Amino acid sequence: MTDLAKSNLKGIAFALIAFGLFATHDAAIKALGGVYSSFQIVFFSVIFSFPLVMLMLMRDARAGTLIPAHPWWTALRTGTVVVTAASGFYAFSVLPLAETYAILFAAPLVITVLSIPILGEKVGFHRWAAVVVGLGGVMIVLRPLEAELSLGHLAAIVAAVGGALGAVIVRKIGKDERSAVLLLYPMMANFLIMGAILPLVYVPMPIEDLGLSAVVALFAFGGGLGVIAAYRSGDAAIVAPMQYSQILWAALYGWIFFGERVDTITWIGAAVVIASGLYIVLRESVGGRSEQTPVLETKSRLATPSTPRLSVMAQMGDKGD
């Protein structure tokens, strides 16, 4: 076996472990969401994430202040992370896990579209076709003609779009902004905004639920480190598709812990969305197709308060090499 093949296998292994941790993180959110508001869950996940993120920031040797180099883009990204956090946590709380993932997996398709006005990316016919087909897969999952769409479905769509927008903004300004700015501004905004809302929705949390909130932050941090290790070891085109393994964990966790069954239509819709995302990844991995490869460069996982933008974390990790 060649060194490249060994590296890619190592990258796949790290990625599968990382996305397994992320899926467990999301199942814990769903368990908490049966009792607590998504605003309260976000608030405590931010609190428990601060010490872990500070450990990452200690490696940021880049000189400078916490004043953003791109204040308006930073403000827009901060707002999108806040909205994505609340809506994503709510979606996981009220929708079946696999159904939520099927909708969130549309994020790479949205990234492809947003890369045109924000990054100046040129998207050809093939990737446009993949976007249209993928969005059709989302419509299969939603089944608007058969079932009434809930607030949870809307929240999942908002999370997918918001996460995609935040990821594209990081691609645009990430080279100029300090990692501390990109990480701390959204966390502080979540802390302040969710803290302001907390008195309206607060439900006392026993120690075991506080512990589960800490586990959410810990698994997100561990998953982030695993994704960084995966992208360091293997090619992006090999590692990126591993994110779709989360839907298998979602089906398993949903069945074991929440009595959920994934119906055939949801599997079909998810397969269409995943196939479209994989096609875009493969198109971007072909030399000359794209100068910026926005999907491959966003490190695959949507940003939430307990899962900082992974491309930011990767930049910080690279500084130590």
User: What is the number of other CB atoms lying within 10 angstroms of the CB of residue 38?
Assistant: 24
Using CB atoms within 10 A of its CB, is residue 268 exposed (0-12), middle (13-18) or buried (19+)? middle
Q: What's the one-letter identity of residue 92? A: F
- C-alpha span between 282 and 293 (Å, rounded): 10
Question: If you search the block for the tokens 């769409």, which residue do you land on?
Answer: 149
- Sign for the CA dihedral angle at 28, 30, 34, 39 comes to positive
Using CB atoms within 10 A of its CB, is residue 143 exposed (0-12), middle (13-18) or buried (19+)? middle
The model's pLDDT over 276-293, given as tens digits with 9 standing for 90+, comes to 988 888 877 765 455 557
Expressed in percent and rounded to 5, the helix, strand and coil fractions of the chain are 75, 0, 25
Please report the pLDDT score of residue 321 as a whole number: 42
Question: Which two tokens mark 71?
Answer: 């204040």
Please report the pLDDT score of residue 2 as a whole number: 78
User: What is the number of other CB atoms lying within 10 angstroms of the CB of residue 265?
Assistant: 13
pLDDT higher at 2 or 97: 97
Residue 320 has pLDDT above 50, yes or no: no
- C-alpha span between 102 and 227 (Å, rounded): 20
Question: Which two tokens mark 100?
Answer: 């939520």
The model's pLDDT over 201-259, given as tens digits with 9 standing for 90+, comes to 999 999 999 999 999 999 988 888 888 888 888 887 788 888 899 999 999 999 999 99
Residue 167 has pLDDT above 70, yes or no: yes
Question: If you search the block for the tokens 């900082």, which residue do you land on?
Answer: 308
Q: What's the one-letter identity of residue 190? A: N
Predicted confidence band at 64 (pLDDT cuts at 50, 70, 90)?
low
Collapse the DSSP code of 269 into the 3-class scheme (helix H, G, I; strand E, B; otherwise coil) and give the result. helix
What global pTM score does this model have? 0.88
Predicted confidence band at 312 (pLDDT cuts at 50, 70, 90)?
low
Could you tell me the CA-to-CA distances from 302 to 156, 165, 224, 265 in Å, in that order? 12, 10, 11, 25
Instruction: Assign 3-class secondary structure to 36-80.
Output: CCHHHHHHHHHHHHHHHHHHHHCCCCCCCCCCCCCHHHHHHHHHH
> Are 156 and 88 in contact, with CB atoms under 8 Å apart?
yes
Q: What's the one-letter identity of residue 292? A: Q
Domain that holds residue 237: 3-318
Question: Which two tokens mark 318?
Answer: 């690279």
Query: In total, how many domains does the chain have?
Result: 1
Please report the pLDDT score of residue 206 as a whole number: 96
> Are 95 and 152 in contact, with CB atoms under 8 Å apart?
yes
